[in-house]
Amino acid sequence: MTDALTITRDLIRCPSVTPADAGALGVLEALLKDAGFTTHRVTFSEAGTADIDNLYARIGTEGPHITFAGHTDVVPPGDETAWSLGAFSGEVKDGYIYGRGAVDMKGGIACSVAAALAYLRDHGGQPKGSISFLITGDEEDVSINGTIKLLQWAAERGEKFDHCVLGEPSNQEVMGDCIKIGRRGSQSGILIVEGKQGHVAYPHRASNPVPDISRLIVALSDEPLDHGSAQFQPSNLEFTTVDVGNTATNVIAGIARAKFNIRYNDCHTQQSLRALVEERLAKACGNRIRAYIDWLPSNSNVFLTKPGPFTDLAVAAIEEVTGRKPELSTTGGTSDARFISSYCPVIEFGLVGQTMHQIDERASVADIATLTKIYRGILDRYFA
């Protein structure tokens, strides 16, 4: 059966906690093959990480080419006894379908597949261009063997995408209130302050890094990185841990560390951001404090799909079904759209995200029907 609710149920019943697939990609591949899509299952590997299975499916050979992207992997369910219904039951109760991934984002994938299949049935089995699906099993964890490599693989085969819709749960309160057109970048680091270990009774023989790291934390936190841009809120640097690894009360620690994360906007690149923070650290240290930053690897760069014909098309489809004109937003964390944006303009629009990653994650049956209609409206307009 190809209705969105049935597809959502079948996907939820696959306990695909990263890196397990548990049959989820097979559910989609079977449906798409039956509809005439050419499908490819591609497994990517890298030392120190789990092998990840991915799915690429396309129907049509000409442009325009719209692709729907998503991930079938989910976060762990936590205490399964705390769920009202089974964490992987896919059961419907009081107008909601329950299960891990219902919102993030098996429901969104199901709606895009159902919409595409309905569009093809109404147009002789072929689009006036091309429709494809980029589905990974590696979004909720390290994102190494998933979308980033699937896009590279597709590009090497000569695949070119004109536009992409990523079905992440973008809506905040109700269907139609928000489209994500960009995301801030993410950069983490560890501030390390070197002191000299010693006895607390003889502080002149030691150098205590604790007061110094406190001063540096304040200095780096207090001064704004920027004041925002036309499409983005201001960047923010947040310290999340402070640690000296010291269990004794009569020993001055020799080193102190503080972890931090920066969510940055399009005022910066990863390189310019690091340089700015390093400059401010050097100023705060002066000639006395010995400190440096251990920057952690990041593939979460900032991106923006500028408002234009494609966003207008999506807004019109959403407004027609919901009666709401969505906000074009760049708030929130990162997503695989950061990889897709290097290949084509991408927007994020899916279900309401209020219960994602929670016990009793659930999606409204009515919202699933609404999202399917919106995706169908996007396809109708795209190929009109």
Rounded-to-integer distance, Cα 202 and Cα 341, Å: 57
Q: Report, as residue numbers or ranges, the catalytic residues.
A: 73, 139
225, two tokens? 């990185």
Query: Beta strands of 72-210 (E only): which ranges?
Result: 92-93, 96-98, 130-136, 163-166, 178-180, 182-183, 185-194, 198-199
DSSP-assigned beta bridge partners for residue 364: 96
Rounded-to-integer distance, Cα 318 and Cα 325, Å: 7
DSSP-assigned beta bridge partners for residue 74: 17
Do 21 and 14 touch, CB atoms closer than 8 A? yes
DSSP-assigned beta bridge partners for residue 189: 260, 295
Host H or E run for residue 172: none
- Phi and psi at residue 250, to the nearest 5°: -115, 20
> Which residue, among 307, 313, 342, has the nearest Cα to 160 in the 3D structure?
342
Residue 100: which residues within 8 A CB-CB, separation 6 or more? 12, 15, 17, 74, 75, 76, 77, 87, 88, 361
Do 100 and 62 touch, CB atoms closer than 8 A? no
> Which residue, among 262, 296, 286, 295, has the nearest Cα to 212 in the 3D structure?
286
